[in-house]
Structure 1
Amino acid sequence: MSSSNILIVGATRGLGASLKALYASKPSTHVFGTTRSATSEEKPNSSVTWLTGIDMSQPDVGHKLITQLGSTKVSTAIISAGYFGLETFDSPDWDKQVRMYTTSAVGPVFVVHHLVKAGLLGEGSKVILVSSESGSITLRHEEEGGGNFGHHASKAALNMVGKLLSLDLKEQGIAVGLVHPGFMRTEMTKGVGFDKYWDAGGAVTPDEAATSLLSFIESFDLSKTGEFWAPRGPGDIGTAEKVLGKNLPTPLQLPW
């Protein structure tokens, strides 16, 4: 596909914002970034077009997206939007869980469905779903304990969604990948108190994670469709060596 249009769903902060800036700096590349707001507060940029009012937790998200894209074909669609609501076993939260599942695992189905049915994704296109190693059942270990049901389980659900989409779209030549971009120093992780683990956990800035992810996406193709990868390798995955062994490669394919 000759188009170099990049769609980033969730481009206003964290990893999405870093990916937006990185792709926008590349020659002959145009970024379509989404925001939940009715308008974009950023200064006009000839390399970035904002799609407004795009909320992954709402049932009209796919329709709103394609209405604003019009006939623009997309070479790579990256769904980076996320929400993390802190929970424990003693204080599970129904509304937080519903929002996490909807944002992580329901919304992407409708976004990809509408993009494909509108002819905006086709042979040679890539769909990258930003997941997390927290969604790997195999990597969960007793030393990390339980809790955060909605966060972990919604990412596990997203992994299944990505696998199923890869099966639906393979014959059309559309590659679907799941990625753990890395443990990041973001307002989201700080907001749930995970900043206390940043140093020990090898957390990186969103810019660092975006650089690794962009490189991985460029090499990603149909031969890896439906797979789950950590572009930065095992460094920030605390249970990787205990579960998968030592001398693990980078990038690292992760287990479900």
Structure 2
Amino acid sequence: MTVVITGASRGIGAGLAAAYKMRGDRVIGTTRTGAHPLDVRDPTNHAAFAQSLAGQPVELLVCNAGVYLDKGQSLDGGFPADQWADSFATNVTGVFLTVQALLPNLRAASAARIAIISSQMASSERAPGGSYIYRSSKAAALNLGRNLATDLMPEGIAVGIYHPGWVQTDMGSAAAEITVNQAVAGLVDRFDALTLPRTGVFETWDGRPHAY
């Protein structure tokens, strides 16, 4: 199986890449620099990356690249416009451009799957306040995934959206609830369980349905 993982330089992305390599899968992990360079914000990067994979089936695409830029921002005077633009460029547009660029590769595979890493902070039913930019961008990624699931179902491509847990990474902090290894093990199980009849699911890393 060929697996493409965006944002694979550290944290969950690096953990997923290592787990799939250990299973014997072919892993193409993208970073902004490196063997498979991809800045998900840049359409020209996507075109070059897609060209490098021309004709190669991709069985699993994991859209993991993401940023959380508005930690600690104040409602009074915080959340500047450039943070909104930069966050949506990576967390939303970047996901769409990745899927769009690799559609030929996904279509060339048998029973292809797309996994979008969102967050429990995307849920409209969980609204404790703050982190407006991150919450909004992850909610948009969730909505994007749900609509992709509808459009790609006739083509046999399943789409799942996932909350990876509060993970001990640079983004999650050392105070987070679970380790990278725990999150990765759970997510791999979720991706394995993603089938066309279950397309459009929003689930936690440990298999619980998440409220939208």
Query: TM-score normalized by structure 1?
Result: 0.77
CA contact (8 A) 1:61 1:111 kept: no
Taking only the aligned residue pairs, the percentage that are identical comes to 28
User: Quick check: 1:213 aligned with 2:196?
Assistant: no
1:104-253 aligned at under 5 Å gives the runs 104-116=91-103, 119-122=104-107, 123-140=110-127, 144=128, 146-190=129-173, 195=174, 197-198=175-176, 203-232=177-206, 251-253=207-209
Q: Distance in 1 between matches of 2:143 and 2:202?
A: 10
Q: 1:56 Cα deviation (Å)?
A: 1.5
1:51 & 1:211 partners in 2: Cα distance? 24
Tell me which residue corresponds to 1:34: 30
* Distance (Å, rounded) in 2 between the aligned partners of 1:51 and 1:30: 13
Q: Which residue of 2 aligns with 1:247?
A: none
Structure 2: which amino acid aligns with 1:14?
G
Deviation at 1:88, TM superposition (A): 2.5
Structure 2 segments unaligned to the other structure (5+ residues): none
Stretches of structure 1 that go unaligned for 5 or more consecutive residues are 41-49, 233-250
Q: Could you tell me which of 88, 97, 104 is aligned with 2:74?
A: 88
Distance 1:20 1:98 in 2: 28
SS at structure 1 position matched to 2:197: helix
Deviation of 1:165 (Å): 0.7
2:36 paired with 1:51: yes
Q: How far off is 1:72 after superposition?
A: 1.5
Calculate the aligned-residue CA RMSD, in Å. Answer: 1.3
Q: Runs of 4+ in structure 1 displaced over 4 angstroms?
A: none
- Greater radius of gyration (CA): 1
Shift of 1:79: 0.7
1:253 alignment partner, SS class = coil
Do structure 1's residue 62 and structure 2's residue 46 form an aligned pair? yes
Which amino acid in the other structure matches residue 163 of structure 1? Answer: R
Q: Is the 8 A contact 2:40 2:94 kept in 1?
A: yes
